[in-house]
Chains A and B, each alone.
Chain A
Amino acid sequence: MQLFFEQLTNGLAVGGIYALIALGYTMVYGVLKLINFAHGDLFTIGAYLGLTLLVSMGLTSHLGPLAGILVLTIMVMGLVAVIGALLERVAYRPLRTSPRLSAVVSALGASIFFQNAIMLIYGARFRVYPHDILPVTSITLFGVQIPVMRILLFTASIVMMAGLYFFVQRTRTGTAIRAAAIDQGAAKLMGIDVNRVIMYVFLIGPALGGAAGMMVGLYYGQINFTMGWVYGLKAFTAAILGGIGNIPGAMLGGLLLGVIEALGATYISLAWKDAISFLVLILILIFRPTGILGERVADKV
């Protein structure tokens, strides 16, 4: 039982990260019906920018660990958001009226570009996050040992998701995003500047993905320029699992996939960890292609 709860908390911590990345996929799909294949690489950029800023500015030694990480998170989110918005301007907006496949090819191209740019700038070897930043202690809750870092990660992702949910459900701009996802033409007739809505989506999704990249760096300690590929695929699976285009679905799918993966790795085989995730993807696509919360069928690439 001890092992089960340990893996459950591990799964929730990792699942929170999947959920944050999945939100970027699902929001872009919602508004543009495009899978942003470069999203995983924005996540990688977040991890590397986090490392650079952390080391070069010494934020945590000046401000203390918690305030330092908070400032770091805000800086990383801001920078990756700007890169995301630029990506949309350069790679997707010129193709807005082209056939959908053109934008998909452009997304794949952007992904290759980002990956190689990161490799050229930072090198191809694994880079290591400083490991003395977050507490490595554990607390005991109901007889289960939980590392404090997991609790911090999980809390951080829940706070960000709650913030996003509030923004999308309760604000004027959030409602405009939902409207543009349902019917772009009708949204324009309401006086909504759909181009601006798309820009917001490409600010928010990459900001969350970038934060997730930094969180992975802090949690696992090492990062690599190809890490966005696997995390991107997992998060994409999570978005499909929850129902692509559906924001609460991406949150639920991410957490669920993290838990399934952690428990599968423990009780089946660690070597099969990734295979289990993709088995989930295949099963979902066969038996419930709309995902858990989705209503619309994802019939496009």
Chain B
Amino acid sequence: MRLRIENLQVKYGNVQVLNGLNLHVDQGEIVTILGANGAGKSTTLMTISGLVKASGGGIFLDNQPLHKLEAHHIVQRGLAQVPEGRRVFSTLTVLENLHLGAYSTTDKDRIAQNLEKAYAMFPILYDRRSQLAGTLSGGEQQMLAIGRGLMANPKILLLDEPSLGLAPILVKSIFSTIRKINETGVTIVLVEQNARLALKLAHRGYVLELGKIVLEDSARALLANPEVQNAYLGGG
């Protein structure tokens, strides 16, 4: 299983957001994409998920093109996304949200198993299962968003800013959960403002500037790289 992005071009109207982006993610990896606001990180994830259409280049999963598929078919191929700002369905219950995460499958046993796994990972979701998602705290909503993503039984999980707006202690627990998810064999693509934390978790990282990858290295090397330290790690 290998996700490969080749020369990806995305435009919003006349604005070129991604301009020849190349990257790849191998089976079992945690790969992080770093970059300033507006560099195109979220656009990259949204294009992988099929919510934004590429104007050129391609995205391939095991050499099969994804960029021509509708979003719901991409989920069926085993790519789930936990979007920026969580975007839980606030007027639906926690359980309904989780079930929607498994919308791409109709296999009842599989859904029940995944629900068990999600509850095991986030016991608080079980306690709150009949509550409306909008009544949860920010941290709980992030747990719900991740649990909902796992309900699709993804091979690759795309995470967009999972630490956004959370207290530091919650951020730590969310990040250790991401590691646990990865240890169960799920490949992770992580976009994160908190570059230091992301690089400590990831195996490899890319630096995105103005819609292009400008740097690619192992996470350890990126942490030690003076340019990265200056630009993204607050001067080391």
Chain A residues with a Cβ under 8 A of chain B: 172, 175-176, 178-179, 182-183, 185-194, 295
Contact = CB atoms under 8 A, between A and B. Distances in A.
A188 B103 CA distance: 10
Contacts of A172: 99, 103
Contacts of B152: 190-191
A190 B88 CA distance: 11
29 contacts: A172-B99, A172-B103, A175-B99, A176-B100, A176-B103, A178-B89, A178-B91, A178-B96, A179-B92, A182-B92, A183-B87, A183-B89, A186-B88, A186-B89, A188-B50, A188-B51, A188-B71, A189-B49, A189-B80, A189-B81, A189-B87, A190-B100, A190-B101, A190-B104, A191-B76, A192-B72, A192-B103, A193-B70, A193-B72
A33 to B, nearest CB: 16
Contacts of B91: 178, 182, 295
B72 A182 contact: no
A242 to B, nearest CB: 15
B75 interface: yes
Interface in B8-34: none
Contacts of B148: 190
Interface residues of B, number: 25
A66 to B, nearest CB: 37
A172 B76 CA distance: 17
Contacts of A179: 89, 92, 100
B100 A185 contact: no
Interface of B: 49-51, 70-72, 75-76, 80-81, 83, 87-92, 96, 99-101, 103-104, 148, 152
Contacts, number: 63
Contacts of B87: 183, 185-186, 189
Contact of B83 (A178, A185, A191): A185
Q: Which 6 A-B pairs have the closest CB atoms?
A: A191-B104, A191-B75, A188-B71, A186-B87, A193-B72, A191-B103
Contacts of A176: 100, 103
Nearest to B106: A172
A186 B91 CA distance: 14
A189 B71 contact: yes
Nearest to B90: A182
Contacts of B51: 185, 188-189
